[in-house]
Structure 1
Amino acid sequence: MKSIINTALSQYGVTELVGQKHNPVILDYFEKIGHTWVTTDETAWCSAFTNWVALECGKEMSNQLTARSWLKVGTETKQPDIGDIVVFWRSKKNSWKGHVAFFIGYSEDKKYIYCLGGNQNNQVNIKAYPIYRLLGFRKLNNSITQNLTK
């Protein structure tokens, strides 16, 4: 089975294109997870990227394009490992907006969480997010399809 972190890292640096053109790699994330209606890389794609990585690794997916949909996938954990899902709020804690990425680690002062994700400054990269915006960590289980092939 493919490693989540290695699969996500394989996309490091994938970036939105400015202007009328759209990065076919980003559009492929949407297509592979079944959201073929998306035709622009300006569509928020952090969840599409996370779903694509999960699909490539045989893990369960949210199948949705909202970051907070990941709060219902997998198993909640308070002790994340590298590659676990991390979900943050955006705008306001009680809004529908959020961000989803893969956990890398904490800053030395524990005030930030480093994450590997898509649509972080319009690209796949590692970025620090303030811990006060954390909504939760999730461990992904193998997908049903993956379990049937074991």
Structure 2
Amino acid sequence: MTAAFGERGIRRSPAGQTNPRIVEYNYHTNLRGYDDKISWCSSFMNWCLAQVGIAGTGSALARSWLEWGIPLESPVPGCIAVLTRDDPNSWKGHVGFFLRIEGDSVVLFGGNQLEEVREHYYPVTSILSYRWPDSNAEAGAGIGSLPQPYFNGDPAR
């Protein structure tokens, strides 16, 4: 999360310009060489994990995270939240780091949230899955046991 928070405020450039930092995020996916005018939430997640030696999905598709790591029954701060966009059965989605739940909203920190790296609120009903790195697959990357579940601001329910 430290790497992610350090990117706060990075945003898409206006038409005719490209933000080289977002191009760098894209380098960690199958969007290598693309500019900042495409969806880059998954690129940002892959970049963040690479900064701490954890392999991401390598895909620019947000829903690729549904096959990554292990599913969590309940969210924990810093876990990866995968959301649906438009139609729950489509390929479209969004991905970000879970921060908290506020009422009927889930608050995520991620890239391409209103075209920048920032916090943003989404309906809890749009959540498809919460994911955590698989400690067996990430041996040697400093991944330990799962943290305590997080419920409405109370880490221990």
Match of 1:134 in 2: 127
- Matched letter for residue 22 of structure 2: I
Q: TM-score, normalised by structure 2?
A: 0.84
Tell me how far apart the structure 2 counterparts of residues 34 and 105 of structure 1 sit (CA, whole Å). Answer: 30
Match of 1:123 in 2: 116
Shift of 1:79: 1.9
1:50 aligns with 2:42: no
Query: What number of residue pairs does the alignment pair up?
Result: 142
- Report the structure, 1 or 2, having the larger helix content: 1
Tell me how far apart the structure 1 counterparts of residues 90 and 30 of structure 2 sit (CA, whole Å). Answer: 26
11, 15, 18: which one aligns with 1:15: 11
Q: Which runs of 5+ in 2 are unaligned?
A: 143-157
Which shows bigger deviation, 117-126 or 29-38? 29-38
- Matched letter for residue 130 of structure 2: F
Shift of 1:34: 6.1
Tell me how far apart the structure 1 counterparts of residues 118 and 136 of structure 2 sit (CA, whole Å). Answer: 25
14, 20, 40: which one aligns with 1:24: 20
Tell me how far apart the structure 1 counterparts of residues 21 and 78 of structure 2 sit (CA, whole Å). Answer: 21
Superposition pairs for residues 1-150 of structure 1, below 5 Å?
5-33=1-29, 35-38=31-34, 40-107=35-102, 109=103, 111-141=104-134, 147=139
Shift of 1:15: 0.4
The structure whose RCO (Cα within 8 Å, separation 6+) is larger is 1
Tell me how far apart the structure 1 counterparts of residues 73 and 136 of structure 2 sit (CA, whole Å). Answer: 22
Tell me how far apart the structure 2 counterparts of residues 76 and 10 of structure 1 sit (CA, whole Å). Answer: 26
Q: Which runs of 5+ in 1 are unaligned?
A: none
Tell me how far apart the structure 1 counterparts of residues 140 and 75 of structure 2 sit (CA, whole Å). Answer: 26
Judging changes above 3 Å, is the alpha-carbon distance between structure 1 residues 149 and 68 closer, same or farther for their aligned structure 2 residues?
A: closer
Tell me how far apart the structure 2 counterparts of residues 77 and 119 of structure 1 sit (CA, whole Å). Answer: 24
Q: Are the equivalent residues in 2 in contact too, given 1:59–1:142 (CA < 8 A)?
A: no
Which shows bigger deviation, 134-143 or 69-78? 134-143
